[in-house]
Amino acid sequence: MTNLFNYIDRPSPIHRLTGACKLVCLLLWSVAAMTSFYTPLLAALTVAALILFRTAKLRVKDISFTLGAMIVYVILNNVLIYLFSPGHGAQLYGSRTVLLTLPGRYSLTAEQLFYHLNVVLKNACTIPIVLLFVCTTNPSEFAASLNRIGVSYRISYAVALTLRYIPDIQREYHDISLAQQARGVEMSKKASLIHRLKAASTILIPLVLSSLDRIEVISNAMELRGFGKGKKRTWYAGRDFSAADWLSMAACALLVLLSLTLTALNGGRFYNPFV
Amino acid sequence: MKKFSVKTIVAIGIGAALFFVLGRFVAIPSPVPNTNISVQYGLLAFLTVVYGPIAGALIGFIGHTLIDFSLGSGIWWSWVIASGVFGLLMGLAAKMLKMNEGEIGKKGLVKFNIAQVVCHLVCWMAVAPVLDVYMMGEPWDKLIAQGLTAGIANAVTTAIVGSLLCVAYAATQTKAGSLTKED
């Protein structure tokens, strides 16, 4: 069965950072990458992301499956953009340099290519960071980190419950699916789409109804133990911030500032080499 | 912050886990790339009717974030937020229309389906593309095509799966006045 969080335990400076710190850094990094279209910044972020990836001692082998899926995803996304608006780049950058004349509106322009480069860079600078977070953060530390960065402990606990019960529900899904197949419900590729949807619902109903019972049992147990009475809660997997944590969070905060200043100085979100 | 009841917290936790398992392992690929026919929105609509808007919003948000995390393809925040908004809107609609999950009849099912179609349209045709244009600067035409496919597919699966779940759930609940005095 597939592992939810592909946590890979290997001693490295990135692994030693606390989960809360890595979560903050991930969010700040995403914000910096999301708000800016300043190409040099995006390129620099991509290079930095790859260097960080090396520092965490992750190997391409560890993530080859997700990496393959991601590359397919990025390619499809770009093909789709080109199919629907081949003139988007020219429109954004306010000029049109035709490189290759093609029928209809599908002429290849330098502006469109540059726009695609931006889209690819945008994906390339966040994907390694998300993978980094997923591979180097212990799942049980994750909920503790949420509480640490100011999310109410009740919601953090809900996230902890989710992580705790995903394997259980997965197992139950599998069991029910096998039981229904034994009773002759066809859900392989041989059945038609509508048929498969119907087959899925024969698993869904027992799964959901048993989960509702589970909600009842767990909430009673938690209520009996006085959950939610105190203002605060301690976490078994929680850790204190170290100097390295503060340093990396400050660096990421600076990145966001840099991204915002560049947008302001540039007078727009798009870096335009064509004017 | 408003205090949640323990039951809401547990419902968020288990609901998000269900959302995750359904979204991750039962996705049926659709003809438009990067867009799956997802059974989990039917579940989300149903859970929202039972546990309310805040639970719905958080189930959608946490569940979708975890799916994106586990796929490793980066978190597509705009669509994650749209999932949360769907839960919120659906919960508010259920409150406004005074849906009673314990006794859902024909009228209740009609209400449920109108509400879910409207909420899906708002989320995938308005919330998700607007956020995408701002965050990713992608062209409108492509986003509308993706949004339309996702919206319609989600509305259809919600209509089938959500309605089925509502009926099945109502059958397990004891109805008010179900006891009659024996002669």
Pick A84's closest partner by Cβ from B66, B141, B165: B141
Same domain, A156 and A46: no
Every domain of chain B and the residues it spans: 6-97+104-172
Same domain, A152 and A88: no
Q: How far apart (Å, rounded) are the C-alpha atoms in residues A134 and A143?
A: 13
Tens digits of residue pLDDT in A199-215: 777 888 899 899 999 99
The pLDDT assigned to A143 comes to 82
Handedness of CA A103, A104, A110, A115 (dihedral sign): negative
> Which tokens hold the place of B1?
């912050």
Within 8 A by CB and 6+ apart from B88, the residues are B53, B54, B56, B57, B60
**Counted domains in chain A:** 2
Pick B75's closest partner by Cβ from A77, A88, A130: A130
- Domain hosting residue A88, numbered range: 17-138+244-266
Same domain, A114 and A204: no
Same domain, A123 and A23: yes
Pick B14's closest partner by Cβ from A126, A165, A193: A165
A204 and B28: CB-CB below 8 Å? no
**B165 vs A: CB within 8 A:** yes
B169 and A212: CB-CB below 8 Å? yes
Decide if pLDDT at A253 tops 60: yes
Residues from chain B that touch A209, judged by Cβ atoms under 8 A, are 168-169, 172
- CA of B182 vs chain A CAs: smallest distance (Å): 31
Q: Residue B29: enclosing H or E segment and its boundaries?
A: strand B28-29
A169 and B21: CB-CB below 8 Å? yes
Tens digits of residue pLDDT in A138-189: 877 888 888 888 888 888 888 888 888 888 888 898 899 889 889 988 776 6
Give the pLDDT band (50/70/90) at residue A250: very high
Residue pair A109/A97 in contact (Cβ under 8 Å)? The answer is: yes
In CATH, what is the architecture of B6-97+104-172?
A: Orthogonal Bundle (1.10)
The pLDDT assigned to A189 comes to 67
ipTM score of complex:
0.81
B69 and A73: CB-CB below 8 Å? no
Would A2 be classed as within a structural domain? no
Residue of A nearest to B51 (CA): A212
Would A42 be classed as within a structural domain? yes
- Each residue's pLDDT, cut to its tens digit, for chain B (183 residues) gives 456 788 899 999 999 999 888 887 765 555 555 556 677 888 898 889 888 889 999 999 988 888 877 665 556 778 888 888 988 988 888 888 777 666 677 778 888 888 888 888 888 888 887 887 777 667 777 778 878 887 888 888 888 888 888 888 888 877 767 777 887
| Binding-face residues of B in 17-36 toward A, CB within 8 A | 17-18, 20-22, 25-26, 28, 32-34
Would A237 be classed as within a structural domain? no
Decide if pLDDT at A220 tops 90: yes
Between A100 and A226, where is the model more confident?
A226
The pLDDT assigned to A152 comes to 86
To the nearest 10°, the Cα dihedral for A13, A15, A17, A23? 130
Same domain, A125 and A248: yes
Residue pair A130/A70 in contact (Cβ under 8 Å)? The answer is: no
Same domain, A25 and A127: yes
User: Which one of A4-13, A65-74, A253-262, B22-31 scores highest in mean pLDDT?
Assistant: A253-262
- CA of A120 vs chain B CAs: smallest distance (Å): 11
A170 and B21: CB-CB below 8 Å? yes
The pLDDT assigned to A97 comes to 79
Same domain, A251 and A149: no
Cα–chain center distance at B15:
11
Same domain, A119 and A56: yes
Same domain, A109 and A49: yes
Pick B77's closest partner by Cβ from A30, A66, A201: A30
Decide if pLDDT at A2 tops 50: no
Decide if pLDDT at A51 tops 70: yes
Residues from chain A that touch B153, judged by Cβ atoms under 8 A, are none
Same domain, A202 and A256: no
Decide if pLDDT at A228 tops 90: no
The pLDDT assigned to A1 comes to 37
Give the pairing of strands A108-109 and A98-100: antiparallel
Which of B5, B28, B69 to mutate against chain A (most A CBs within 10 Å)?
B69
Q: Residue A9: enclosing H or E segment and its boundaries?
A: none
Within 8 A by CB and 6+ apart from A197, the residues are B28, B39, B157, B160, B161
Would A234 be classed as within a structural domain? no
Residues from chain A that touch B66, judged by Cβ atoms under 8 A, are 4, 162-163, 166
Closest CA to A45 of A123, A135, A134: A123
Which of B37, B48, B73 to mutate against chain A (most A CBs within 10 Å)?
B73
pTM above 0.80, yes or no: no
B72 and A158: CB-CB below 8 Å? no
User: Which one of A62-76, A194-208, A233-247, B67-81 scores highest in mean pLDDT?
Assistant: A233-247
Residue pair B164/B48 in contact (Cβ under 8 Å)? The answer is: no
Same domain, A75 and A107: yes
**B140 vs A: CB within 8 A:** yes
The pLDDT assigned to A247 comes to 92
User: Distance from first CA to last CA of chain A, Å, rounded?
Assistant: 54
Would A7 be classed as within a structural domain? no
Same domain, A119 and A151: no
